[in-house]
Amino acid sequence: MEFRDAVIKRRMVRNFSDRPIEPEKIDRIIELTRHAPSAGFTQGQSFVVVTQLELKKAIAKTCEEEEYVKSGFDPFISKAPVLLIPCANEAAYHRRYQEKDKVNEDGTEIVWPVPYWFMDIGCAVMIALLAAVDEGLGAAFAGSKDLDALRKLLNIPAEVTPVGVIGIGYRAQDVPSPSLKRGRKPDAEYLHREKW
């Protein structure tokens, strides 16, 4: 698939068919996410892949899936054949930026202009979402409301932050998000040439 087509075709898909995903598709998606950039090549990103139904149901609870269902969506988290949990590790960045080539001359750590750990996992998530399209699949990112519960369910270390949940599967008819009614904001508000 052309890159442009994958980008344009991608949307958050909030319903999946029961058709299982070929495991090699997930392997290829994850493999591509490893090409995401990271500050100082810290590689603070990681993913947990979940396929067990009971685990998926428990994860869906941390996303308050029942609220989605109440408002007319399908149970797109528990029903997804595969869940990917993208994780960021802030502590890994602090450790990396204490290394000789990154630490300030006076031994102090840089002042972080923005939390690069979240920037980096965002880059990896975007690759995963596009790679899913390239594999003929749909995917949706949803936030979890209880990161500690998610950590506990998946044995995620305390210093690692699961930033949410990505459901992946073959697309089924879904309910579009009401947020889409907002429409795309005008180009003039988005793009500022030379100066804002």
Ligand X SMILES: Cc1cc2nc3c(=O)[nH]c(=O)nc-3n(C[C@H](O)[C@H](O)[C@H](O)COP(=O)(O)O)c2cc1C
Binding region for ligand X (CB under 6 A): 11-12, 141-143, 177, 179-180
Q: Identify whether the C-beta of residue 5 lies closer than 8 Å to the C-beta of residue 136.
A: no
> At closest approach, how far in Å is the CB of 180 from ligand X?
6
Q: Identify the bridge partners of residue 47 per DSSP, sorted by sequence position.
A: 86
Indicate the residue among 1 and 180 with the shorter CB distance to ligand X.
180
Indicate the residue among 97 and 125 with the shorter CB distance to ligand X.
125
Q: Which of 70, 47, 69 is nearest to 162 (CA)?
A: 47
Distance CA 60, CA 165 (A): 9
Distance CA 2, CA 23 (A): 23
Task: Tell me the residue number closest to ligand X, measured at CB.
Answer: 11
Q: Which of 32, 53, 34, 56 is nearest to 45 (CA)?
A: 34
> At closest approach, how far in Å is the CB of 145 from ligand X?
9
Indicate the residue among 23 and 143 with the shorter CB distance to ligand X.
143
Identity of the amino acid at 86: P
> At closest approach, how far in Å is the CB of 103 from ligand X?
31
Indicate the residue among 85 and 96 with the shorter CB distance to ligand X.
85
Distance CA 140, CA 29 (A): 14
Indicate the residue among 91 and 119 with the shorter CB distance to ligand X.
119
Indicate the residue among 37 and 176 with the shorter CB distance to ligand X.
176
Distance CA 64, CA 71 (A): 12
How many CB atoms neighbour CB 50 within 10 A? Answer: 19
> At closest approach, how far in Å is the CB of 101 from ligand X?
31
Q: Identify whether the C-beta of residue 149 lies closer than 8 Å to the C-beta of residue 165.
A: no
> At closest approach, how far in Å is the CB of 133 from ligand X?
11
Helices 53-62 + 147-154 axis angle, to 10: 160
> At closest approach, how far in Å is the CB of 144 from ligand X?
8
